[in-house]
Structure formats: C-alpha cells, structure tokens
Structure 1
Amino acid sequence: MKRILLILLLFTSRAFSQELIDITGRISDTRGNPIAFTSVFIKNSSNSTMANQNGEYKIALPPGRHTMIFRFVGYRQEQIEFEVKKGVMVNAVLEKESYTLEEVIISSNKKEDPAYNLIRQVISKRKTLRSTPAYTCDVYTKGVQRLVGAPKKILGQDVAEALNLDSNRRGILYLSETKSKFHYKYPNVKEVMEASKVAGDREGFSFNRALDLQINLYDNLLQWAPLGNQSYVSPVADNAFNYYTYQLEGTSIQNGHTIYKIAIQPKNRFDPVFSGHIYLVEGDWRLYSVNLMITEEARINFVDTLRISQNFIEVGESYWLPSDITFNFKGKVLGFKFAGFFTGLYSNYQINPSFPDNFFKDEIMKIPSDANRKDNQYWLQNRPVPLTFEEDINYRLKDTAAAKARSKSVLDSLQKKRNRFKPLKFVFSGYTLHNYSRNSYWHFNAINRTVFFNTVEGWAIDLKPHFRKEYSPRRSIDIRPRFRYGFSSNTINTNVRIDYLRDTLHHESFSLNAGSDFLDLNNKGTINLFYNTLTTLFDGRNFLKLYKANFFALSAQREISDGLLVTGGAEIARRFPLRNASHKPVFDNAAKILTSNNPLTPTFDENLFPVNNAFSIEAKLSYTYGQRYTTRPDGKIYENARYPTIKLNYRKGIPNVLNSAVNYDFIAVDLFQDKVKTGLFGYSSFYLSAGQFINTKSLYYPDIKHFTGNQTAIYNPLFPNFHFLDYYAYATNNKYFEGHYEHNFLGLFLRKIPLIRKLKLEEIAGGACLIQPHNSYREVYFGLQRLVVRADYGYAWTSTGQSYKAFRLFYGF
C-alpha cells in the first residue's frame, strides 16, 4: 500500500510541476514605447510579476482562463482575460490615465484644495493602516548600477579597461538578483535568502536585501540606509501639512475602486521631503500607489536624484499590501556619471501564518551557504522579471571572464602584473605581494609609516610587514613581524603579533604578541609616529613619551550568545624607563623647548619608574541587548544597535609570578551607544565610563588608567576622544568618571540659509568631561562636517583654573 501511495504521490507532484506554463508579453504605451517596471497581477490572486526596463514580462500560470491586470502609475489600468496555453503571448497597451474633477466635493472650505481633506482622512487612520497583519511572502530583488559617463583616465589608468566599459565608457558595474522568503509580524521582520546571483562572482553573495527596500509611508519619518542618516517626512505624516502642499488632480475608477490622484510639493524644497504623486483609495483612505522623488536639495548623499515607485494590492478581502517597489537613482562624482535601480517584487502572500516560538529573535536576515549554488536553469524557471538583452550579455561576459580568471594561467598573469614593484606607489601607499594560489599576501608599509623621528630614538626605521592568509571565508590568520631601530638610541626592537580568526560567525579569535618594543606610556594611545615626527621637527613639541618592554601576551575572544562578547588575556612583561637621546629639534625653534621623556617632570629627565616585571590578566564582558544581525556564509554582520552596549572590565596585576612586582585590581563599567536617531533633529552618540582601582598595593605608570587625549590641531573624531585633553596629565590610580555626548544635526539649521545650504554641511555640537577627586576636566565644542572633512572649535577648562580654546581639523574616513 505504501508503494502505491508513493507512486501516486510522485505522479501527482510531477503532473502539478508540469501544469505551470510561462506566459510572456510586452507592455507599451499608445506610441509603442515600452513602459518599464509595469506591475502585472493575476486577478483574485497574490501571484504577480513586473516588467523589465524594456517592458517585457514573464509569469507562470496553470492552464485555464485567467484575467491579467497591468498597472503603472499615471496610466489607465488594463485588464485582459485569456486562455493559458503554451506559446501564448499577452501584450498590453496602456493609455494615459485621465482624471476628472467633476462633482468632487470633499471640503466645505472653498479656499482649500479638496486634497487636504483627503489627506486628513488618511492621517486619521495612519496608526491603523501602518499596523498591517502578520504575513509571509516571496520577494524577488534586482539591483543594477551602471556607469553612463566617465573620464578617459584617472591616476594614469585607463578607466574603460579597468572597469570593462565599452568604447563610450559606459557599462554595467553591478548586476545582482535574489529570491527570498520575507516574514513580518509587527514589529519584527526576518528575511531568508533562497537564491543569490551576482554577475562575475559565482562564489559571492548578493548585498541586495528585501529589508533595505522596506519603507512604510504610514510612518511619520522614513529612512533608507544607503542614503545616510537623514530621515524624511512622509506625505501622510501627522505633521505633513507643515511640510507639503497638496492638489487634487482628479479621480478615476480602477478595479471597482475610486482612486484619487494627488500632487504633492514641498513648502521648502531644502527640507527632507518628497515631491510627486500619491494615489488614495476612497472609503478605505489608504495608499493605492505612490510615485515620489527626492533631489540633492533635500540633502541625500551619494546620488543626485532618487525616485520611489510603489504599488499596493488587495490581499484577501481587507488587506492592502505592497506588490512592488522600485528605487531609481542617478548621480555623479569626480567626473563619473552613474545611474541604476533596485527593485523588489512581492508575491504569494500568506496572511497571519503560524510562526514557531522564537522565530523572530535578533537574526533579521539569513543567507544559507547554498544560496549562490543555483544554476542558470533555476533562474530561467524562477526569475519573475525577464533580463534585458544588456543584462543577459553582462551576465554571460562577466561569468565567462570570472571562470577564465580562476584558471592558473590567468591567475599567474594577473599576479605577475599586480606584483610589479612601482617605486612611486610604494612611497605613498606601500607594496603588496600577492599569492593567489595560496590565497595570501604580504604588505609592506609606505615610507611615511616606515621612517620617523622622536626624541628617544632620534631618526628611526619601523619595518612592519603584514602577512595574511585566508583559509576560508570564516577563517584567516594575520602575522605582523616588526623590526624597529633607532639610530640615536642604537636600540633594536623585534616582535611579532599573530592574530588567528577562527570563526567569524561567533567572532572567535586568538592572539599572540611577543618580543620587545618601545611602547607609549599612555596605553590608550596618543599620537602616531608620523604626526609626532612633524610636531617634533617643525614645532619643537615632542608629545610622544615611551618606555621599553620585553613581553609575551596571549588573548582570546568569542561571542558566547547573541550580543554577548567575552574577551580575556594575560601578559608577562619586563619594563624599562627611557630617556631622551636627542634634545633639540632638527629645525630649531627658539620659542619651543623639547620636554623630557618623563611626563611628570617635563623640564628634566628622570626615570619615571624602576625596572620591573609585571604579570597581569584582564577580562572584558560586553553585552548589547537586542543586537540585530545578518548571518552570511562568511560571518555575522551587526546592524546599528537599538539599545546601549554595556561593558564590564576587570584587570589585575598579580605579584610573585615570574618575579612580578605589581599588585593591583582595577574595575570599570562603560555604557555607550552610537547614532541614536532623533527624527529630523539628526542623531546623538554618548559614552559613559566609571572605574576605580580597588587595590593599589603596587603599580607603575604604565598600569594606571589612561584616557584618549589630543594636543594637536589634527584631530581624530573617533568617538569617544577628547579634543584638548593632555595626553598624560590626567592618568590616575584612583576613581574616575568619564562622559562624552555628541549630536549631529544633519544640516537642520544651515539648510535654511541661502547659498550656505548648497554646501550640505552638517552641524555638530558636543561636550565631554573627566571627573577625578583632585583634577577634573571639561570641554564643549561646535563643528561643521561634510563627508570626509570636519572642522571643530572648542573650549576646555580644568578644576585647577586652566582653560584652552582652539580649532581642530580632520580629513579622512
């Protein structure tokens, strides 16, 4: 009996698999021009598809009679009933929609456009409308980024050759598709990618995400991560009338519903708002379609213009859910002109499904390791939006080139070309020696990171080659041997650091660090060797203070649960005080006097501490509640944290182990969060830390608590750094409280000033404090930022009556 049932089941499943027939066609306007991204629905079904850029579509249907609905914003909806047969093509011609204003009496206020009352209807139901039911659906995404114009050469390199462009320097730079299962239950989401395809990278996984295409216009503020941190006001937000003007352009009847077409325009085009059209369903007072646009005047980053088109379909009898969404963009930077789109197609909705317990946890997206193993036949059968001719050719050419590139002869040729030594490049960016067959490389630093000067070593060289080998996408090893020699001190230091990353999924790693070195007395780090060279030689200010250590250290870390990271380590070191070997700057500056290597006695050299042995252990525990993440085959990627991170730190100096002379206990707790969104007012970051030495029987200057200060005009804005704090003066073996707060207003004020707003500057304000029993410090600052450039002006004062005020500059990423 079981055999008979199995045979019947096999025949039945085979019969059903053969029932679906591909229906294709082309959608155009009355002049024969294709209508790209037209939505195609099957009546009384959540089965849908979308036309490609050439207006071509494909959809699989079972035999029988079906009604196909073609819909595109601004055109009259078309319905075609037909019989599904093999070889059938269903073409559609859409006419421009005509909207009428006859007998539209919505508002009693004759001076007010009727659109305003329609918008009020939507706003009054906004909270209900945004609370969509739980659902599961299929999502198909496609992303295309193309170069439409470029300079012939950049930095002496032929652009067309480097980027595989045509003779007009045009071509597709990025082409990728995904198919996913998308799950939603307010307020949680989860995406599971089933298939991924990236042109020219069969081993890679797409960065397309249905999550990134999720926008809910019923929210007051909208945000799309690729555009930056700015939030945008929805046309149906509670306060939308403060930002938009509305005009009713007419009504039409579509699929039995009366649809209102409303034009929206910003009151101030420099506010973070949209322009375009929204379409409302009478009675339900919900969105039917939207066609919106944002321009660079609204301070979007990286692109000049972004268009958003979204359609909704009725699922069941009372739910309207997204059927598709498309982001079209274009822009230019450094002579490169680009354009592209990301589109998402939603189908096969299941309303109020039963989700397993703990299904919605902190993992919001999962990419299985076999998602990129789907072959071309799979995509031919399951791709709902046909490829254009250009996209098909791009896949073929890039996949063929990638296959050739994996051959030994091509790899050897490429390796030889990339390993060619170029003196000028070495001076500015270093030299990298690749070994593709072993998936490894050696990197040698540029000259400005190799030759330096300080008052302890004089002129010196610091050779730090870096070897890296990747065993798999999740496992790698980094080896950094170091040779350092000071010509004035006549001292050689050698050491090696080995970092073994065992599992990127759990952030599990092991480190070994052993040898001898000259180390910064501030164990948090002060000024790098290059900038210290400049300030010492040209300004007579030798900020960097050093000591010598012979050491052996081990450490390890692992994420033991989502958001919970444990780190531990131990070190044995023999430490030596150092004195200056050079007392005058090369370029004499009478107004400046070089200080000693002892930060406590700057006018004369005196040993800061005796030679000693120190054995210490350290343990850290950090936890971020509700830390959301994406699991990829090559590891785990964290999303921006919704809640603060708390970190506990314990460090102990253990006496009498290998002649260790230290005996102390230090504890600290940190609480911090980066980029806390504050709506249209920008975002804030904060960092709080409190600590204390609960045992100080025996410790030396390198053991006490240090802070990240700054005494130069060049400032590293990495949060939380102080702007003006002395590098060494506030180190403590007592208790302390450290606090930092910074807010980025994202142009809230400057965008209201003509001319200035074109610079797209972001206003920054912040402050910091360091509270100690005998010596406290506070600072406030204000700054302006534009992408990689930032300038701050601040004021600082201490409990001893000292004060400082100065500019701080930063350039870089």
Structure 2
Amino acid sequence: MKNTLLFLLFAFMGTHAMAGVIKGHAADTKGEALSYATIYVEGTTTGANANASGDYELTIAPGLYTVICQYVGYKQARYSVTIKGDETVIHNFFLATQGLEMKEVVVKANAEDPAYAIMRSAIKKRKFHADQISSFQTNMYLKCIGRSRQMPKKVMGQKINAQDIGADSNGKGIIYLLEEDADYYVQGEHERTVVHSVRESGNPGGVGFSQFPSVISFYDNNVSLFGRSSRGYISPVNDLALNYYKYKLEGQFEEQGHTVYKIKVIQKRAYEPCFNGYIYITEGEWAIHSINLALTKESGLDKMDTMKVDQLYLPYKDDTWVIKSQVIYVTLKIFGFDIIGSAVTVYNRQKVNEPIADTMFSKKVTSSYDKIANKKDTAYWTENRPIPLEADEKKDFVVKDSIRKVIEDPRRVDSLRRKGNKPSPVGLLISGYTYTGKEKRNVFTTNSVLLGLSEDNMVNFNAVEGFNIAPKVNWRHMVDTGKYIITDMAARYGFTNTHFNAIGRVYYTATDQAWRSRSWMGGVEGGKYVFQYNPDNPVLQWFNTYASLFYKENDLRIYERWEGSAFLRRNYGNGLIWLAKASFQKRLPLSNNTEYNFSSVDAPYKSNLPANLPAVATAWEEHNAMILYGMISYKPGITYTQYPDYKTPNGSSWPRLTLSYEKGVAGVLESKTDFDKWRFSIQDDVSLRLFGRFSYNFVVGGFLNSKYVSIPDLMHLYGNRGVGYANPYMQSFQFAQYYDFSNKEPIYGEAHVEYHLNGLLSNKIPLLRPAQWYLLFGGNAFYASDHNYYTEAFVGIDNIGWKLLRILRVDFVQSWDSNRGHNSGIRFGLSGATFTRAVNVSHSEW
C-alpha cells in the first residue's frame, strides 16, 4: 500500500525526479503481438498501452510493484519488479488465451441461454452505473493514425501524388498521424477538455481533435459515435436491448476476485443500428468489464465499411469501474483508396466523484488548449507518451516535416499558382475562370460562360432581352490577414432590347483573428442592372434559358433599376448577427420583345407582368424608391473551443430567431414607396437520436402600412416551377407558382417542416435497406387569407449516394392551394436542410 501511494504521488506530480522504466513486448503464447495491450500497476489505474506492434514502455518511481498486462480475451499476466533508481528493466509479457468455464446447468428443450439472465441484471443496473459517477476527471492520451493500403493514380481525372500525402510509390503508408495529451472533466451536463499538447505529422500548427469522443459510454441507451446530432446506436445494455439483441454466454473466468462473463452480442435484425461482438459483464456489480463490439453496413454504418470499438475498464473502488483504454478501428474503401485507421485513448490519473471547481465549466468553453499546445518539443512527448511510437511513425514525423517544407517552398507554390492560372475551355464553360496572384493577395473570379448549374452564366436567354451576355467579376484583395476589400462587378447587354446595364459593389470585411466567425463588413453598391420581381431570385436563369428556347416556357420576370446603396453587417461570433442597409432605387418596368425559340409552340410567351400583380400592388410604373432595411438574428446557447491563438464557436442546441424590418420612405428624393414590412422566423434542426431528425422553420410577417407597395416590395412566396430540381429546402415551396400568392396582407404565416427518419422504417423495406436510403416526410404551408393560401406535403428519400458521397435526395410532392390547383410531381435536390435567408451577407439581389 505504501509503495502504491508513493507511485501515485510521483505520477500525479509529473516531476523529473529519479524514475525507472519497464519496457518490452506484449504478445500471445504464439508470439503474435497484442496491439494496444494495457499495462498498469496493480492497485492503481495508472499505466501505459502497447503500440500496434505490441511494444510498451512504463515509467515508474522507485519501489516494489506488481505490473499487470491485460488484453481482452486473454488471461492477465503479472510481473513483480523492484525499481531501485534510474534504470531500465526489460520484460516481455506472453498472454494465454482466456480459458472459459461454464456452470453446470440442466439443459431443457427451448431453454433460454444463461446470457439473458446476466444481461437482464446488467440492463437493470444500467442507470445505476450511468448515474454512479456524478463527476469524473482523467488524463487522456490520444493517438490517431490513418494508413493507406492502396491508392489510385487518378481520381475524377485529377492526378494523385502519393508522395505528397506520405505514401510510397505503391500507395502504401501513413497518411495521417496525430498524438494529443489532454485532461478531461465532466460533471452532470457539463464537459470540458483541456488540451496540453498536440502534434500532427506534417502540420506544425495542427490542433487535432477538440471534440473527439472523450469516453464512449455504453451505459447510455443511445451510443453516440459521430456527435450528438447523429442518430447513434443502441447499446447492448439499453433498457429495450432485448428487443434488438440476441445473447449467447460463451463462458466465465475469474480475475482479481471478480467473476467475469463473456457474452456474445448479436443483432436480431439486419440494418438496425446495433453492434455485434462481445461484452464482458462482472457478476454481482453487473458492470461492464470490457467491450469488443463492431459496426458494419448491416448495422446501418453508411459512411465507412467497418468500425470497431474496444474498451477496457478497471475496478476503482467498491462497485465502481473506470475506463482504462479505448480503441476505435475503422476501414474505408472508396474511389480506389483502401484506408485503415485507429484512434487509441489511454486514460490515467482518474478521479471519481471528487469536487471540480465551478470555474472549470464557466465562460461556455467546452474545450481549451494551452497557449503552447502545438509547440511542445520532442522531449515533452518522450516523457509523457504512454504508447511508444513505432519505427514508421517516428519516420513519418521526420518525412512529413520535409514534405511540408517542399510543399511550402515559395518557388513550388508560385509554380503551381501559375499552372492553376492557365484557363481551360471546359473550366470556362462550367465554372468560369479564377486568377490567383502571389500570396493570394489578389484573386479574380468570373462566372461560367454557358454550362454552370447556377444563375450566373454569362450567356442567357429570356423573352425580354432575348439572348444576353452577362459577365461578372469578383476581385478579392487581401489587405492583411483576415481583412479584405472585395469588389463585385457585373455588366449585361440584351441583344433584342439593346439595353446595356452595369453595376458594382465594393465592401470591406474583417474577421477577428482571436475570435473566429466574429466579423464585420461595410460597403456601397451602385449602378443599373436587371432584377427579378422576387428579391430571393427563385428562377434560375440557366433553366429559364433552356425552358424558353426548347419549350417556350418563360418564368423569369424582370425589371431594371438604378441603385445606390450602403450596408453594414456585424457578426459577433456568439450567435448574434445584424445587418442594416439603406437604398435609393429608380425602378423601370420591362416588357417582352421577342418570340424566338427552338420549339414548334405557336402560343406567345407569357407576359413579363403576371396578370394578378397589378391588382395586388399599389401600382407598377416607373418610380423612385427609398428603402431602409434592418435584420437581427440570434441563436442562444453558443459554446466555444479556445485554441492556442483563437476562439471559435461550436454551435448550439437552441433555435435561431430572426427579425427583419423594411421601410419604404415616401417623399425623399421623390420616392413614392410608403410601406412598413416585417418578418419574424424561428428555425432549427432537432436531433431525435434513434428516431431521426426534425427540422422546422416557422415564419410570421406582414405589412403594418401599405400605402404604396410596388411589385418588388410585395411579400412573394419562394416558389418553384422548374422541372425536376428543388429550390432550397426549409424556406421555399416546391410547386407554388412564383407570383400567384404575392400579397400585402397585414399578417401572414409560413411553416416549413421536415422529418428525416435517418434509417428508421427504411431499414425494414427490402429495396431501401441494402442501399441505406432514408425516408423523410414533410410539408410547406402558407396562409394569408381564406382566398390566398398554399399547402404542399411530400415524402422523399435522402442519403442517396455512396459512402462519403451520400448527398442526393428525391421527393414526391402534392400541393393544394386557394386557386383550386392540385399539382404533384418529383423534385431532385441535395440532402440537408438549408437556412440561408437569415444570414444573407449583404442583402444583395445580384
């Protein structure tokens, strides 16, 4: 006991006093290495782990100790040693396979496996063990390594240089290596990780993982492996686990006075979010002794091929067990890459239910780094690393540093810059052209010529201008780190109406380098250009070009206006954003000027002025408009990560609240507009864990004053008549006519809701189950009056794709409206809810 206390004292102090080293190899009786085997001093929870090759190294103060080597599925090996001073003792551990005993039982037909009684006891005590530790603190050492077993020469036509990534000419080698030393604190709902040192191979400024799962708790009903917003997986000791798992008792063994049961865990149904493997349960305490569980595609794992979790717990005191080591293994094959990875965490100096200062959880900081966390030298790691580096890992740190110097060589960087600045015909057509100056101080970008799937193509067609050419140029000039002057320029010429328009915008933006996402911007814009009636720009110009020329369907409704405006935007980095803009406009109506098309349709193009709008708007005429606009948006509950040199927000579980107000000021510079328009929204994504995700966006707004409301100032629905493609989810209406529901009502309401099941139900449908496509349901609704409303409901499938590229979604939509319209059809889009209205950078319409 005396020696144990002495050891703990030296370990806790972490001094450079005299200490000895026990090192060697951990293997089975056949000599096969036991990767990440746990080595610790009996009577403590402090120790080390072997590396992937089975090599270990344990530093301890002088004294007499019993050192234990433990590996799940093997008998413990013990070694008594006396450390007299600053010496190195070599000892190899050879562990025999754990012999299992079976209690004698009377076997009856259809008898229940004895594992069920054990698991019922463990399930009954799940909450006890989950609540047993009210506060926990521990030191953590994390090592992550990713290795390539195979690598393609090209991906999507782009050449892959294996050497730049760290692999050899055969595509094999280490592609990522990280080690991290931290302390972890948890008390109730509060968590805090303090990172003392981090080292990323080839990246001296790397910060590693601030939010990596510190301890994966299988005492939680829902086991979260990919963040709290993910669906998660059902624990084998979940309160309802018997509905999802089958169990089989493999046997039992004795270990340090504890009877431990080895139980095989088998999911009952394929594609349920369940584990397979082994769980070890102690008799009496019914606590988890260790875990060896895996996930595959049939467990609902869709981003990777396999994932395995190994955990080992040690007795702390009484019936309390604490985690000693955790290893996560992953495999992934995609685009010719064959990647394996592991993340091993070693826990030392654990404290259970001891007071933690309230200041540890103050200031909403969930993770923090020491100021010199990524600047510690190799001597620090040699002294504090509980897992020895392997030979190729030592080499990787050296090689990657050399590769980094080559990659960052100014001559190489400049050569690649010049090569990247060479235009390509395909690039000009699809994505435009980008020119990057030295040190990226000046970057020029143009829009695509013809085939870009955005509204920014240079060449377009509509019934008002005919064919038109509309080049746009963005110039970003870096004044200093995080500070830019950005200039946007656009010109437009219609070959049929012969109108030339040009407009420009210049603004300054600065990001706080000590508080990322805290920024401000201010600028001016002016000129004359073509705008849609609806400032949300619901009609994509490339699609209108296609529909007009081939089907004589023209949905684009436009007008010209002169504009001079100034705007200011502030993001405080704490969830609060505001925007203010003042604009003077001279609005000029336009009409159709051509019937040109490639189709055989004889009917004329639809008028540029929808038939219902003159009756809704006060007037549509050439007029001046003075517009004041303000927006404030807030998302409470933001937490932060404090990195060595800057702080960044993590997000929040609270909804975002947004209020906007727009005022048409009459009499200023002969302005005719006279209205007061407001809009309030509340929106969020809510994780329902195993039951999926619920997204909502509820809106209420209206006109407090509508003395003179021109067409662009009306409340317009974000509609969509495009064939096939979906407009932004959670803020648009997939089958609403663009201007049929425009209004100036004193009050209106919108609701957008989606329920993503994330595998629930679809894992029982034969076609969807192996593809891992997920069902979703939802609806969009608008109501202004009994004579002006619109509703649509949809059912869809998302998560369409392959492994990491599951980004597609398809919906069947049915709509009903006040005009007795009943439309239905299919919409294709990208997965994920998008909320963009509240954070529009400059409230720009072009």
Instruction: Tell me if both proteins adopt one fold, taking TM over 0.5 as the criterion.
Output: yes
Residue number in structure 2 paired with 1:10: none
The 1:508–1:15 alpha-carbon spacing in structure 2 relative to 1, beyond 3 Å, is closer
Residue number in structure 2 paired with 1:188: 190
Q: Which amino acid aligns with 1:130?
A: A
Residues 397-450 of structure 1: per-residue CA shift (max 9 Å, x gap): 111121233333232233233333333333333333233535553333332333
Residue number in structure 1 paired with 2:128: 128
Residue number in structure 1 paired with 2:507: 498
Residue number in structure 1 paired with 2:50: 51
Residue number in structure 2 paired with 1:25: 24
Instruction: Give ranges in structure 1 of 5+ residues lacking alignment.
Output: 1-12
**In structure 2, distance between residues paired with 1:461 and 1:20:** 77
Residue number in structure 2 paired with 1:710: 720
Q: Retained in 1: the 8 A contact 2:570–2:579?
A: no
Q: Retained in 1: the 8 A contact 2:730–2:753?
A: no
**In structure 2, distance between residues paired with 1:592 and 1:48:** 83
Residue number in structure 2 paired with 1:463: 471
Residues 368-392 of structure 1: per-residue CA shift (max 9 Å, x gap): 5533222333323322222222222
Instruction: Report the secondary structure of 2:680's partner residue.
Output: strand
**In structure 2, distance between residues paired with 1:61 and 1:310:** 24
Q: Retained in 1: the 8 A contact 2:726–2:829?
A: yes
Residue number in structure 2 paired with 1:427: 429
**In structure 1, distance between residues paired with 2:90 and 2:166:** 36
1:361 offset after TM fit, Å? 5.5
Q: Output aligned runs, 1:195-594, within 5 Å.
A: 195-206=197-208, 208-209=209-210, 211-225=212-226, 229-351=230-352, 352-357=354-359, 359-360=361-362, 362-367=364-369, 370-447=372-449, 448=451, 449-468=457-476, 475-490=483-498, 491-498=500-507, 500-503=509-512, 505=516, 507-516=518-527, 517-560=529-572, 562-563=574-575, 565-590=576-601, 593-594=604-605
Residue number in structure 2 paired with 1:802: 821
Greater mean alpha carbon deviation, residues 514-523 or residues 450-459? 450-459
Residues 569-598 of structure 1: per-residue CA shift (max 9 Å, x gap): 122222323324543243134176422222
The 1:484–1:751 alpha-carbon spacing in structure 2 relative to 1, beyond 3 Å, is same
Residues 65-90 of structure 1: per-residue CA shift (max 9 Å, x gap): 23322222111122222233422233
Instruction: Find the partner of 2:631 among 620, 626, 629.
Output: 620
Residue number in structure 1 paired with 2:789: 776
**In structure 1, distance between residues paired with 2:21 and 2:667:** 80
Q: Which amino acid aligns with 1:193?
A: V
**In structure 2, distance between residues paired with 1:472 and 1:61:** 50
The 1:760–1:798 alpha-carbon spacing in structure 2 relative to 1, beyond 3 Å, is same
Residues 703-744 of structure 1: per-residue CA shift (max 9 Å, x gap): 222232211121135323211112222222211100011111
Between the aligned residues of both structures, percent identity stands at 28
Q: Retained in 2: the 8 A contact 1:566–1:619?
A: no
In the alignment of these two chains, the number of paired residues is 796
Q: Retained in 2: the 8 A contact 1:231–1:680?
A: yes
CA RMSD of aligned residues (A): 2.9
**In structure 2, distance between residues paired with 1:14 and 1:128:** 33
The 1:320–1:621 alpha-carbon spacing in structure 2 relative to 1, beyond 3 Å, is farther
1:751 offset after TM fit, Å? 1.9
1:157 offset after TM fit, Å? 3.8
The 1:313–1:552 alpha-carbon spacing in structure 2 relative to 1, beyond 3 Å, is farther
Q: Output aligned runs, 1:634-645, within 5 Å.
A: 638-639=649-650, 641-645=652-656
Q: Retained in 2: the 8 A contact 1:653–1:662?
A: yes
The 1:648–1:61 alpha-carbon spacing in structure 2 relative to 1, beyond 3 Å, is same
The 1:740–1:590 alpha-carbon spacing in structure 2 relative to 1, beyond 3 Å, is same
1:562 offset after TM fit, Å? 3.5
Instruction: Report the secondary structure of 1:651's partner residue.
Output: strand
The 1:472–1:194 alpha-carbon spacing in structure 2 relative to 1, beyond 3 Å, is farther
**In structure 2, distance between residues paired with 1:438 and 1:375:** 31
**In structure 1, distance between residues paired with 2:431 and 2:766:** 40
Instruction: Report the secondary structure of 1:212's partner residue.
Output: coil
**In structure 2, distance between residues paired with 1:683 and 1:14:** 46
Greater mean alpha carbon deviation, residues 411-420 or residues 233-242? 411-420
The 1:182–1:585 alpha-carbon spacing in structure 2 relative to 1, beyond 3 Å, is farther
The 1:140–1:509 alpha-carbon spacing in structure 2 relative to 1, beyond 3 Å, is same
1:120 offset after TM fit, Å? 1.1
**In structure 2, distance between residues paired with 1:227 and 1:678:** 10
1:293 offset after TM fit, Å? 0.6
1:125 offset after TM fit, Å? 1.5
Q: Output aligned runs, 1:587-736, within 5 Å.
A: 587-590=598-601, 593-600=604-611, 609-632=620-643, 638-639=649-650, 641-674=652-685, 676-712=686-722, 713-734=724-745, 735-736=747-748
Q: Retained in 2: the 8 A contact 1:139–1:347?
A: yes
The 1:487–1:359 alpha-carbon spacing in structure 2 relative to 1, beyond 3 Å, is same
Q: Retained in 2: the 8 A contact 1:493–1:518?
A: no
The 1:358–1:227 alpha-carbon spacing in structure 2 relative to 1, beyond 3 Å, is closer
Q: Output aligned runs, 1:77-226, within 5 Å.
A: 77-84=76-83, 85-103=86-104, 111-131=111-131, 132-161=133-162, 163-206=165-208, 208-209=209-210, 211-225=212-226
Greater mean alpha carbon deviation, residues 700-709 or residues 434-443? 434-443
**In structure 2, distance between residues paired with 1:56 and 1:718:** 53
1:607 offset after TM fit, Å? 12
**In structure 1, distance between residues paired with 2:485 and 2:119:** 59
Q: Retained in 1: the 8 A contact 2:618–2:709?
A: no
Instruction: Report the secondary structure of 2:75's partner residue.
Output: coil
Instruction: Report the secondary structure of 1:788's partner residue.
Output: strand
Residue number in structure 2 paired with 1:72: 71
Q: Which amino acid aligns with 1:270?
A: Y
Instruction: Report the secondary structure of 2:395's partner residue.
Output: helix
The 1:179–1:617 alpha-carbon spacing in structure 2 relative to 1, beyond 3 Å, is farther
**In structure 2, distance between residues paired with 1:99 and 1:138:** 34
Q: Retained in 1: the 8 A contact 2:229–2:687?
A: no
Q: Which amino acid aligns with 2:821?
A: Q
Residue number in structure 1 paired with 2:835: none
Instruction: Report the secondary structure of 1:776's partner residue.
Output: strand
The 1:569–1:539 alpha-carbon spacing in structure 2 relative to 1, beyond 3 Å, is same
**In structure 2, distance between residues paired with 1:326 and 1:177:** 14
**In structure 1, distance between residues paired with 2:427 and 2:321:** 58
**In structure 2, distance between residues paired with 1:358 and 1:389:** 38
The TM-score, its normalising length taken from structure 1, stands at 0.91
The 1:349–1:666 alpha-carbon spacing in structure 2 relative to 1, beyond 3 Å, is same
**In structure 2, distance between residues paired with 1:190 and 1:474:** 29
1:316 offset after TM fit, Å? 4.5
Residue number in structure 2 paired with 1:744: 756
**In structure 2, distance between residues paired with 1:592 and 1:194:** 73
Greater mean alpha carbon deviation, residues 282-291 or residues 423-432? 423-432
1:19 offset after TM fit, Å? 2.6
Residues 129-185 of structure 1: per-residue CA shift (max 9 Å, x gap): 112221222222222222222333334443344645322222322222222221101
Instruction: Report the secondary structure of 2:404's partner residue.
Output: helix
